[in-house]
Structure 1
Amino acid sequence: MTLDTDRTGESRLDIGAKLSGYSLMDALLWRRSRRFAPGMQISGGPLAYRSTAAPRPLTRDEEAALAFAACGITGHTLAEMPYRDGDRPGAGGGNIIAQLVGRTIASGDGIHSVSLFVINDEGVSLVRRPQDLDRTEIPDLIRLAHDRELSALYERVRVQVRDRRSDVPREVPFVPPFNQFSANVPGTTYFLPVAELTALMINLLLSAFEDDFAFYVLDERNRFQPAGLAKFARSRGGHLNDDLSSGRVVTAGFLDTWLCEFAAIEQGAMLQNLGLMTQALGLGGFPHFAAHPFAWYQELGFRMNDLRFSRTIGAGPLMASVMSLTGRNMPMPTAVGFEHDGEPLLRPYCPPYYRNMEEAVLAFVDFKYAPGRGTLRDGGASSSWNDGAAVQSDIPKASDRAIAATIAYLDYLHTRYGRVPADNGPFRSVLAYQAADLDEDFYNRFYVPDALSPTQRDRAAQ
């Protein structure tokens, strides 16, 4: 990693040797949330303190190392899955794998749902996911990662989308009272993971509606009626198991919750890696609340759709009218995409980028299975298999009836609730992570010496 300077022009040591020589065990032992940075102030209570130091932004190399830890492209996945039943009926389904590119964090089905926004005094950058890049770029990005050229890798995958620090209103409910002194203030670097849920949702449903699973879905918000799947019920001659005793009948709310939990695990892995890298660099950092349903998306410039509350709960015309007359039918801003300079950078599989959910589902099916270009049909050159083309040729495509059931279910959700997933729409954030220099004087005043690690003490002495 090359020598860099911080954004005030002061040279700092090359961090490559520091990272190569720092042990994982030390990172685990010393990982803590450490919040107080130069320029901050705690205004009241037993730790009241005003920093006398000026904010010190991170170097580009440090930012690049943190972004790599959060979501850097590292290689190709192994995808060692049973792609057909063989001599064990019902033991296939490996085609749930969606991509063959790996990052520093695990991702359900290789979907890579989570994008990363990086916010600092200079503006906002979006770190693109593997599916957001030209596939021919991937081998070179993997090489840069293995050569430890993290700054060069970072410049290749990030897009600057704002030239100023973005922030949400510094008040409840957007920022809790205890975070207002520290979160996203000058000098800090703020990492905001944002999950795009539609690709993961479609991929899960394509498997859930195959014969091996044959799940059936009821809508608990609509008197437990079939969620667009009535004609697919086994009791009506279809293939989905609608027998309540089978354990395969679930609710739409259950699926939405399951989906959000999958994505939250991916976000959590990002935060853990950021914490470990922060420790290795001798910085401070902490995860914190960033889950307001629309504030961050509005501030970052997402494409928004204002749905009436009555639509999001599936209210009928009469209830919607009553809600409007009583002033309770407020707009519910929903992020539906992210664009920059007219180019969609985060494009969910749903309207307005597709005419309807049928077109969106078929587009995702093409993403995986289109001959010559699908992630499971590109000839296998970008895979870890010795003979990728031969392996891919024997991976079955999603069945026509699983595709039809997926379309029917998602069309039902979008028609009734105006968005997919129905609970919150395509995007979801839970926590953010902030990295910054530490104010050593604050910790010396209030804490025992080992509150800061040797790495942080060494950095403070530079």
Structure 2
Amino acid sequence: MSVQEKARHVGLEDLLARPLLQTVFKRRTHRVSRGASVPARSMSYESPHQPMPLGELEEAVLIALTGCSGLTMPDRPFEDPRDHQPIMAKPNLNMVGRTAGSPDNAQGTHFFMINDSGTYFLRKLPPSAGAAFDPDTLIERARQSKVKVLDHRLDVAEGMRDFPAYLDSNRFLSNLKGTTLFLPVVDLSHQYINALMYLLTQPEGARPTLVDDRNFYRPAGVRKWMKNGFLNPDLKLPLGALGPMRTQIEADLLLQNMMLVADAMGLGAWIHATISPQIMLGDPKFSRTYGRMLGFDFVTPRFSPADILRWQVPLPRYANLRAHPVGLRADGEHLIKGACPPNYPSMEAAVDAVVRSKFGKGGIYDDQEAFRRIYKNGYAARYLAEASEYDQKVIDCARDICVYIHATHGRFPAHADAIHVPGIWLQTHHLESEYYERFFMNGLTDAHRRHASRWDV
């Protein structure tokens, strides 16, 4: 690619000019990548082509969609309009935003990218100060983002693509040579703590009593807070009802954005079931058969006789049924670090770390320069001074709940995994165009038909 072509890339210009609604309404899943064959009886197709991996710029555009895209706005009230009492107005875990929404801007979703050259963890870089869609900038930021965690494509061994690794027909078209996949995993643990605190900022009488639906609906470490009136004993909320605190929705929204952009570029795009998440992350129950795969750190709670009733774990040798991933390390560095033991010495320490990341020295609400880039005319200082933070009672009550969960169930969270895997990934690839032209009325869009002339230069 010449210097002039780098400065003015026709494929990128075409993408930026493409109408959004045209992409949305013409979006369709395209499963068959260049070089793939389809055994389908009288509709069988044998590709005459070799697989064709995505180019560096094509991947860089998609990587950009997983990263940070600027700063968010704390456009929320500071006080209750009924009595003008202050309300908690600093719930965010981050102020940098992405291309999709996130509860309390938790941004717990991390991405892996899988292609012929290996498997990569994608770091979330700070928002770009320059032209985000300049080809050189995109490619350079993609290079900075990538951390190689495997020197090969993440996959099970040859001949092991049947269930529980792959589902049904997916095993014939998913994760083939030449394809690039984007795999999301979501750290629920930080937002689980943060959302508990946010929940406890409700006004008097509206703060619920957390009860444990896996322990006979007993109070979840909050008896003191019921007695002193901080929580309403008549308003009960089961821990299980909290689920993943809605944090898992981030991954779905981000994947949809990526699929739309891939389709607008003229690439094939397919969101579908991954390799079984437990196998893929390296759950000890499966690693003897399938290997360590991504090699996440797992915690297996110590068996308690009460687990027979709480979790239907009948004997100590089945304790690993409740093993869950808590983080990922590469070369001694934590790439993903759940807010729970053993990453922290205790749940008290994990909760305190989340609070410090928000309000401590160097925390997001201590970064005055960031807020000066969000607000006009000196309003940043007003927001930081006037918007309320968590009351100490809120922090202490949330800490007691988190300590209870870990002490009672041997892991945190107990009713969801610290690292949640949605179980879907996005495959992007160059299309086997002849297959779609042969069999389908509207198999290709104009973007697909002209992709090669605009991107493969």
- Do Structure 1 and Structure 2 share a fold, with TM-score over 0.5? yes
State the match for 1:250 in structure 2.
237
Distance in 1, Cα, partners of 2:143 & 2:435: 34
Alpha-carbon distance in 2 for matches of 1:395, 1:253: 31
1:164 aligns to 2:160 (yes or no)? no
Question: Percent identical across equivalent pairs?
Answer: 29
Query: Partners in 1 of 2:305 and 2:173 — Cα distance?
Result: 34
Work out whether residues 312 and 423 of structure 1, in 8 Å CA contact, stay in contact via their aligned partners in 2: no
Aligned match for 2:348, one of 358, 363, 377:
358
What is the 5 A alignment of 1:244-283? 244=235, 249-257=236-244, 259=245, 262-283=246-267
> Which residue is equivalent to 2:94?
99
Counterpart of 1:163 in structure 2: which amino acid? D
Q: Distance in 1 between matches of 2:305 and 2:142?
A: 39
Which residue does 1:412 correspond to in 2?
A: 404
Aligned equivalents of 1:2 and 1:421: distance in 2?
52
Report the alpha carbon displacement of residue 294 of structure 1 after superposing the two structures with TM.
1.8
User: 1:263/1:38 Cα in 2 relative to 1: closer, same or farther (>3 Å)?
Assistant: same
Contact 2:88 2:389 in 1 (8 A): no
Q: Residue 98 of structure 1 contacts residue 376 of structure 1 at CA under 8 Å; is this kept in 2? A: no
8 A Cα contact 1:228 1:412, kept in partner: yes
Q: TM-score, normalised by structure 2?
A: 0.87
Q: Which residue of 1 aligns with 2:62?
A: 66
Q: Distance in 2 between matches of 1:311 and 1:425?
A: 19
Give, in angstroms, the shift of residue 331 of structure 1. 4.6
* 1:37-436 superposed matches below 5 A: 37-45=33-41, 47-69=43-65, 71-85=66-80, 88-89=83-84, 92-129=87-124, 138=126, 141-145=128-132, 149-168=137-156, 170-212=161-203, 213-233=206-226, 236-244=227-235, 249-257=236-244, 259=245, 262-290=246-274, 292-298=276-282, 299-307=293-301, 314-315=307-308, 323-324=315-316, 328-371=318-361, 373-382=362-371, 383-386=373-376, 387=378, 388-430=380-422, 431-436=424-429
Q: What secondary structure, in the 3-state scheme, does the structure 2 residue paired with 1:221 have?
A: coil
Q: How well do the aligned residues superpose, as a CA RMSD in angstroms?
A: 2.8
Structure 2 counterpart of 1:8: none
Give the CA deviation at 1:62. Answer: 0.5
- Give the drift of 1:27: 1.1
The residue number in structure 2 matching 1:9 is: none
Pick the aligned partner of 1:444 from 427, 431, 437: 437
Cα contact 1:4–1:60 (8 A) shared by 2 = no
Task: Assess if the C-alpha contact under 8 Å between 1:291 and 1:429 holds in 2.
Answer: no
Unpaired segments ≥5 residues, structure 1: 6-11
Distance 1:393 1:314, change over 3 A: farther
CA shift at 1:195, angstroms?
0.4
- Report if the CA contact (8 A) 2:87-2:201 is conserved: no
Residues 312/121 of structure 1: CA separation in 2 closer, same or farther (3 Å cut): farther
User: Hey, what's the Cα distance between the residues in 1 that align with 2:304 and 2:30?
Assistant: 43
Separation of aligned partners in 2, 1:265 and 1:313: 33
Query: Does the aligned pair in 1 maintain the 2:328–2:335 contact within 8 Å?
Result: yes
Name 2:286's counterpart in structure 1: none
Amino acid at match of 1:151: I
Q: Aligned in 2, Cα 1:287/1:237: closer, same or farther, shift over 3 Å?
A: same
Answering whether residue 447 of structure 2 is matched by residue 459 of structure 1, we say no
Please give the TM-score of this superposition, normalised by the length of structure 1: 0.86
Please say if residues 195 and 428 of structure 1, whose CA atoms lie closer than 8 Å, have aligned partners that are also in contact. yes
Worse overlay, 353-362 or 210-219: 210-219
Taking structure 1 as reference, are residues 27 and 210 closer, same or farther at Cα in structure 2, changes over 3 Å only?
same
